A and B are shown apart, each in its own frame.
Chain A
Amino acid sequence: MSEAGTLTETPQQADRAVTIFEKSVPGRRAVQLPPAEVESTPLDQLIPSHLLRETPAELPEVSEPDIIRHYNRISRRNFDLDTGFYPLGSCTMKYNPRLNERVAALPGHARLHPATHPADAQGALELMYLLQESLSEICGLPTVSLQPSAGSQGELAGLLLTRAYHADKGRNPTKVLTPDTAHGTNPASVTMAGYEVVKVATNESGGVDMDDLRSKISEDVACLMLTNPNTLGVFDENIAEMASLVHEAGGLLYYDGANLNAIMGQARPGDMGFDIVHVNLHKSFSQPHGGGGPGAGPIAVSDRVEPFIPRPQVIKTEREGWDAYFDLDYDRPKSVGRMRGFQGNFGVFVRSYAYILSLGGDGLAEASRLAVLNANYLKTRMAEGRAGKYLPVAFDRHCMHEFVLSGAPMKKELGIKTLDLAKRLLDFGFHPPTVYFPLLVDEALMVEPVETEAKEHLDEFADAIEKILEEAESDPGIAQNAPYTTPVRRLDEVGATRRPVIRQPR
């Protein structure tokens, strides 16, 4: 690390960003296509010329060695989970087992067309069925649809199921309740499902304010969307009462499964009274985050919601000549229809199923226990020293798999904000925790260490925080101008938004 004001560039910083388009040299190429083996009929004899492209798309002209050099080089400008600690709250950055990549790449999985006749895809359909059964047991609900592409699509699916459920009963409620600590996808999904968002307040212990909830429950409420434990890392013990209140008023209870990593094998949303649960396979079930996807957001539902699930659904049936026959069931008259094409992100199902087989019931329960232990340990370490003074925990009770700190005292007394702390952490080789979420906590810092991190990494993190705060006591300028050692330093986001440049100019 070099001191602020006397900087020399790191080699990566000196290596200025160049796009693949800028590396183009006319005439260079990578591909050599197989011979066509058919007549070279002029295209305009096959397709009328007014429907044809006049000029080619300006794609790069580069050789294969230059392609791999380019992407390898820019890959090193990424911080990644395999390389360092990544305690992003609400994201569950657990280790991505490489076995899962190996099995996903098997030709029987990777080179299988989605419209393959079911009799020729029995392995795939059985895998989906077994995954459904596993998620059903983990969530405590009888039926699982694997179709939604990610958590937020699962949420939207859940809300559309809610709409179908009420319509089927001749009811037309217009509102959906969400806590004010909800992840942004919740209210966004609510609007897309045609409902009005009504926020429910949070009480002093971090749970739902029951008085506020009671005042807002009515027959006009279609659904209450919750996550438990919530985004503050707190398990809401009033869950049974909330479930009865909502059900008595005729509404449904929706569980955002983003925090499932806290409770696998300890408690199940179905047993808590939830009707619809979405699961983020890219969180608790080890699918790699890929820099922003792919993921999958299967939903588990109660019997009363089952008729409405998306179509097609993977089922197990009987068929002459087969021990068991797995099929895609399209005959679902009350189904809401489709959330997307074909049957979902199968490649993600393979990885998640391999993960579930690897851990087993015992291992999944242990994973949650250790995730919660790690979080409480790190919270304890960060309650000591300067962290305890400047970054107090938002709720003084045992947390679950994540905890939230407030940087408000740090801002007031040291003059550095949560943002500055996060940027300085980059210089220490850590990915920062989630910042400025949930909105309820001032200068929030949400920390989720996950069970695949060894104790010493947690200690290193706590030590780094301590150092940064110590630094800030004598010179807040250091954090305010951090980072210093990353491939680029603080970026002008204002300029990027005022005058967006979102593609290479021609």
Chain B
Amino acid sequence: MSEPSYPEDLKYHPEHDWARIEGDEATLGITWYAQDSLGEVVFYDGPEVGAEVKKDEPYAEVESVKAVSDVIAPVSGEVIAVNDSLADAPEAVNADPYVTGWLVKIRLSDPAELDQLMDSAAYSASLE
């Protein structure tokens, strides 16, 4: 994905992570800015299904050739799915960070946390 993109239907965390809320579940990933800074992704090291993720804390690692980045959870919950397709095609995180490049799905443990996240406009502004 060559141009910056911050879909409006998502919520954003200052550490460059997004959440798509679907009822009491959320899909999480990293933003366009994050994948652009990291460079071409070569490896994704995700959590196990059933693991707890905590807001503001790292839950996974994403690697490029020259760097490793912690992925920060924008909200807390229990991991119910991990994107295994990234094992064979980690480049999806660069090409399509918001859809095929998703990282985990969680069941929210504290929906109130959502209020602390930014919307697309606020997040874009914070990058200036």
A touches B in complex, CB < 8 A:
yes
Task: Please measure, in the bound complex, the distance between the C-alpha atom of A494 and the C-alpha atom of B64, giving whole angstroms.
Answer: 8
Interface size class, chain B = under 10
Q: Determine how close the nearest CB of chain A comes to the CB of B39; give it in whole angstroms.
A: 8
Interface size class, chain A = under 10
Task: Give chain A residues whose Cβ lies under 8 Å from the Cβ of B6.
Answer: none
- Residue in A closest to B40 when the chains form the complex, CB atoms: A494
Q: Determine how close the nearest CB of chain B comes to the CB of A408; give it in whole angstroms.
A: 15
Task: Give chain B residues whose Cβ lies under 8 Å from the Cβ of A498.
Answer: 42-43, 90-91
> How would you classify the secondary structure of chain B's contact residues: helix, strand, loop or mixed?
loop
Task: Give chain B residues whose Cβ lies under 8 Å from the Cβ of A436.
Answer: 66
- Cβ of B65 within 8 Å of any chain A Cβ, yes or no, is yes
Task: Please measure, in the bound complex, the distance between the C-alpha atom of A498 and the C-alpha atom of B92, giving whole angstroms.
Answer: 12
- Residue in B closest to A493 when the chains form the complex, CB atoms: B65
Task: Please measure, in the bound complex, the distance between the C-alpha atom of A494 and the C-alpha atom of B90, giving whole angstroms.
Answer: 11
Task: Please measure, in the bound complex, the distance between the C-alpha atom of A498 and the C-alpha atom of B44, giving whole angstroms.
Answer: 10
Task: Please measure, in the bound complex, the distance between the C-alpha atom of A494 and the C-alpha atom of B93, giving whole angstroms.
Answer: 14
Write the B21-50 contact mask toward A (1 if CB under 8 angstroms, else 0): 000000000000000000010110000000
Task: Please measure, in the bound complex, the distance between the C-alpha atom of A494 and the C-alpha atom of B40, giving whole angstroms.
Answer: 7
- Residue in A closest to B90 when the chains form the complex, CB atoms: A498
Task: Give chain B residues whose Cβ lies under 8 Å from the Cβ of A497.
Answer: 42-43, 63, 65
Task: Give chain A residues whose Cβ lies under 8 Å from the Cβ of B43.
Answer: 497-498
Task: Give chain B residues whose Cβ lies under 8 Å from the Cβ of A493.
Answer: 65
Task: Please measure, in the bound complex, the distance between the C-alpha atom of A436 and the C-alpha atom of B67, giving whole angstroms.
Answer: 12
Q: Determine how close the nearest CB of chain A comes to the CB of B67; give it in whole angstroms.
A: 10
Task: Give chain A residues whose Cβ lies under 8 Å from the Cβ of B90.
Answer: 498
Q: Determine how close the nearest CB of chain B comes to the CB of A233; give it in whole angstroms.
A: 23
A467-506, CB < 8 A from B: 493-494, 497-498
Task: Give chain B residues whose Cβ lies under 8 Å from the Cβ of A494.
Answer: 40, 42, 64-65
Write the B82-117 contact mask toward A (1 if CB under 8 angstroms, else 0): 000000001100000000000000000000000000
Task: Please measure, in the bound complex, the distance between the C-alpha atom of A494 and the C-alpha atom of B66, giving whole angstroms.
Answer: 9
Q: Determine how close the nearest CB of chain A comes to the CB of B88; give it in whole angstroms.
A: 9
- Residue in A closest to B63 when the chains form the complex, CB atoms: A497
The 8 sampled A-B contact pairs (Cβ below 8 Å) are A436-B66, A493-B65, A494-B64, A494-B65, A497-B43, A497-B63, A498-B42, A498-B91
User: What residues make up the interface of A, taking CB atoms closer than 8 Å to B?
Assistant: 436, 493-494, 497-498
User: What residues make up the interface of B, taking CB atoms closer than 8 Å to A?
Assistant: 40, 42-43, 63-66, 90-91
Q: Kindly list 12 other residue pairs between chains A and B, CB separation below 8 angstroms, not including A498-B42, A498-B90.
A: A436-B66, A493-B65, A494-B40, A494-B42, A494-B64, A494-B65, A497-B42, A497-B43, A497-B63, A497-B65, A498-B43, A498-B91
Which are the 5 A-B pairs with shortest beta-carbon distances? A497-B42, A494-B40, A493-B65, A498-B42, A497-B65
